[in-house]
Structure 1
Amino acid sequence: MNDRVARIRGLIEGAPSAPGHDGGLLHRVCAAATHTLAASGTGVSVMTEVGARGVYAASDPLTERMEELQFVLGEGPCWDAFALRRPVLVPDIEEESPGRWPMYRPAAWEGGIRAVFSFPLQMGAVRLGVLDVFRKRTGSLRGDEFADALAFAEVTMTALLDRHEEAVMQGLGDSLDDAGEHRAELFQAQGMVMVQLGVSIGEAMVRMRAYAFAHGRRLDEVARDVVARRLDFGSDRP
């Protein structure tokens, strides 16, 4: 973990809960990002290639509306950031072409938003969604703010994967008695995915975790299918 990511994690751990929420991790991500990036609001939306879409967390009601509106209209910076696999930076939304987000742009302006910066939640080829940073004033992100935003996106992606795995493991109880066997199977699957995709062992694990997240499955189930050759991550490669 680099120093910047470690610092961002510390800021998130110390962040207060967002208004109207229970202080869960993703809401604290939004609260910390809003403060650190001098934003008016920050939102986290999930977008996967198998069709999962939706707003997971937002720092405030206005930001939540701005996030939801992108899914209602089917356009906006989060869609572009996800599709292009790179940040979409709009320091002055009024200066954007009228043909870009023809419905979302005026709606965002009416809501008081003057700048928006969208960062895909991705590691390698894996994408899970977008972190949107909104401002009620025009202006670009400074160099250090941009770097911090990338770190927030990295931490957020990890948080989404961890949150999913914690949720699916709740209530399993005694079924975890054979954890040693599951762990060996997971390591075997990780190695197989590494070979299938020609990636590092670390990215192989990320790919399996992201697959489990997108399909609403447990990681050990995905690993079992890989080992049994019912699931081949390399089958879709060109």
Structure 2
Amino acid sequence: MAAMDDRVARIRSLIEGEHPAPDGAGLLHRVCVAATQTLAASGAGVSVMTDAGARGVYAASDPVTERIEELQFVLGEGPCWDAFSSRRPVLVPHLDGDSLARWPMYVPAVHDSGIRAVFSFPLQMGAVRLGVLDVFRKRPGLLTDAELTTALIVAEVSMTALLDQHEDAGMSGVGDGLAETVEHRAELFQAQGMVMVQLGVPIGEALTRLRAYAYAHGRRLDEVARDVVARRLHFDRDRP
């Protein structure tokens, strides 16, 4: 019990630093940095994923990790999808042949970034699911029992921060934080509808075209969606 209390205290001190931890994305950025430090990882990210359809990266320890985290949404596959749907951690200590068969597009993409292990933890409380915490390592290998416990603590802190941010946004009426992420997803859905009309394809294929364009051009999916909605990118005319 004392060891657990010491671990929680260390995580809190890393998150708060010299000042009280900020709200929303600022807090979750610090959570991701703390996860990276305490788990000897190369980076960590938190993504919002809800049953209502919200999908997107919310915070990351650094810009490189943010891009790696975003890949799962660009490609539509990866450990975070499995952790969210199964409601259980997905621990991948070796991104090898078995993982390649499971995620044929995701594994080569993260390999190019030097990632060799990924650990995904669903952010949930009872029946409520809000997202996933992903921890990335550049060396293969299992998490130790102590590291696994630490990761679960970090996941709990992340879940609490998302809930707090959601409640704060609801009370203040300010459309930032979690609400802003959901707004980005709504923009993506609008872009899907526009591409569906432009190309005369089903809605599912429209999303596939958006993802393929983002991946091929090394761009974030939400940036591509924003250009489509703003009519700066026309799939019928540009034939991407």
The reply to whether TM is greater than 0.5 is yes
Structure 2 partner of 1:164: 166
Alpha-carbon distance in 2 for matches of 1:7, 1:126: 28
8 Å CA contact retained: 1:50, 1:215: no
8 Å CA contact retained: 1:50, 1:214: no
8 Å CA contact retained: 2:58, 2:181: no
Structure 2 partner of 1:13: 16
Structure 1 partner of 2:79: 77
Structure 1 partner of 2:127: 125
1:49-88 Cα offsets, whole Å, 9 max, x none, are 0100000001112211111110011100000000111110
Alpha-carbon distance in 1 for matches of 2:182, 2:99: 37
1:166 to partner: Cα distance: 1.7
Structure 2 partner of 1:56: 58
1:24 to partner: Cα distance: 1.2
Give structure 1 regions of 4+ aligned residues with deviation exceeding 3 angstroms: 4-7, 212-216
- Taking the TM superposition and a 5 Å limit, the aligned residue runs for 1:1-238 are 3=5, 4-14=7-17, 24-170=26-172
Structure 1 partner of 2:207: none
8 Å CA contact retained: 1:70, 1:104: yes
1:13 to partner: Cα distance: 1.4
8 Å CA contact retained: 1:89, 1:116: yes
Cα RMSD (Å) of the superposition?
Answer: 2.7
Q: Please state whether the residue corresponding to 1:78 is helix, strand or coil.
A: helix
8 Å CA contact retained: 1:164, 1:213: no
Alpha-carbon distance in 2 for matches of 1:23, 1:48: 17
Alpha-carbon distance in 2 for matches of 1:152, 1:97: 25
Q: Please state whether the residue corresponding to 1:127 is helix, strand or coil.
A: strand
Alpha-carbon distance in 2 for matches of 1:164, 1:48: 13
Structure 2 vs 1, CA of residues 88 and 23 (structure 1 numbering), >3 Å: closer, same or farther?
A: closer
Structure 1: runs of 5 or more not aligned = 17-21, 173-211, 217-238
Structure 2 partner of 1:181: none
1:168 to partner: Cα distance: 2.7
1:112-158 Cα offsets, whole Å, 9 max, x none, are 10000000001122211000000011111111000000000001000
8 Å CA contact retained: 1:82, 1:130: yes
8 Å CA contact retained: 1:5, 1:155: no
Letter in 1 for 2:123: L
1:6 to partner: Cα distance: 4.8
Structure 2 vs 1, CA of residues 24 and 96 (structure 1 numbering), >3 Å: closer, same or farther?
A: same
Q: Please state whether the residue corresponding to 2:44 is helix, strand or coil.
A: strand
1:14 to partner: Cα distance: 2.0
8 Å CA contact retained: 2:115, 2:137: yes
8 Å CA contact retained: 2:79, 2:90: yes
Structure 2 partner of 1:192: none
Alpha-carbon distance in 1 for matches of 2:87, 2:158: 16
Q: Please state whether the residue corresponding to 1:96 is helix, strand or coil.
A: helix
8 Å CA contact retained: 1:89, 1:118: yes
Letter in 2 for 1:12: I
